[in-house]
Amino acid sequence: MPTKREQFLPTIRSQYLGERMRGLREERGLTLKHVAAYIGVEFSTLARYERSEWPFRRDHVVALLDLYGIYDDSRRVQLIDLAQTSWRINQWESVGSRYAPTTGDSNGSMIVDPWWLQARAAELWVYAPLLIPEVVQNRDYAEALVRQTETDVRRADQIVRQVIARQQQLEDREPKTRLTILVEEPVLRRPIGGQAVMKQQLEYLSRLANQPHVDIRVLPTRAGWHPGLDGAFTVCKLDRPYPPVVLVEHLGGRLVVEATAADRYNAVFDKLKEAALVPVRSVELIHEAADDLTGSSRTRPDPTGQETTA
């Protein structure tokens, strides 16, 4: 009969805890052997804890926090809570703003940073029915959005810098994070920040689409009903052996979806991708939307191969 450890399936909570605990150990310059001896386990056991192959025991986490000198109550509570609930899947956090920082407590609110998930994903599948998604926003578009909800200028500037820094983190990842972005056509024609800002954003989007690790597609308005109309979501395709995880943002909060529930979003994204325009035609539509903002025109081929002017 398999043991509890052998039956353990790594959850996002267990992965997050393992990485946080490994980070604390490395910050202190301590080896696996030294720390394992301190809590009375083999160093290979501690390595499995940190890789989330086995669940961290609560008493081991408490002892290690003492060893690492972590005495801040909020940090201790968060990490100990992760150890106690490492088996739990799916998370919900109620927030007042899409830019609110992630919080956590022992009542089941989200304690795993959503950005941490995106940053470690090999692929991101993003469905955006209302706005250009954060991972492909330029600075002016991001600032225009942030200032709609954040009245504190310093806080708004901090958020914008964070958005751009996160994009750079994805860009610097080796191998690069593969992005598949599906946007609804009305998103291209919603002038966030005004016509000039939106035109620059669309031009930035079209340049990104030329990069080999970026696939941007547009769902045309004529597509009618489709299974994505319930709202935006992001599928984080993690490296093996970890299964995909889905991030969903609502007006009232954030949701992390795991296990079989995440499979539904995978299936929906596949259907949305089938309904979207091919990449070449999608870029053409992005150019058309940019031209429409300023009343300019460009010559482009129509489906029959004849040149037409917008």
For residue 11, what are its two tokens?
Answer: 């959850």
Name the pLDDT band for 117 (thresholds 50, 70, 90). Answer: confident
Share of the chain above pLDDT 90, in %: 55
- What CATH number has the domain spanning 92-309? 3.30.870
Confidence of residue 96 (pLDDT cuts 50, 70, 90): very low
Q: How far apart are CA 178 and CA 155, in angstroms?
A: 30
> Counting runs of H as helices and runs of E as strands, what totals does the chain give?
13, 9
CATH number of 4-88: 1.10.260.40
**What is the pLDDT averaged over residues 206-218?**
96
CA atoms of 68 and 70, how far apart (whole Å): 6
pLDDT at residue 108 is higher than 90? no
pLDDT at 252 over 70: no
Q: What is the mean pLDDT of the chain?
A: 85
Alpha-carbon gap, residue 106 to 80, rounded angstroms: 9
Higher pLDDT, 127 or 149: 127
Per-residue pLDDT tens for 38-58? 999 998 999 999 998 888 999
Give yes or no for residue 229 having a pLDDT over 60.
yes
| Mean pLDDT, range 236-256, rounded to an integer | 80
Phi/psi of residue 277, nearest 5 degrees: -70, 155
* C-alpha span between 305 and 309 (Å, rounded): 13
Q: One fold for both 4-88 and 92-309?
A: no
pLDDT of residue 97: 53
Domain coordinates in residue numbering, the chain:
4-88, 92-309
Residue 8's pLDDT is 63
State yes or no: cis peptide before 175, omega within 30 of 0: yes
pLDDT tens-digit series, residues 5-26: 555 667 888 888 998 999 999 9
**Sign of the torsion formed by the C-alpha atoms of 150, 152, 156 and 162:** negative
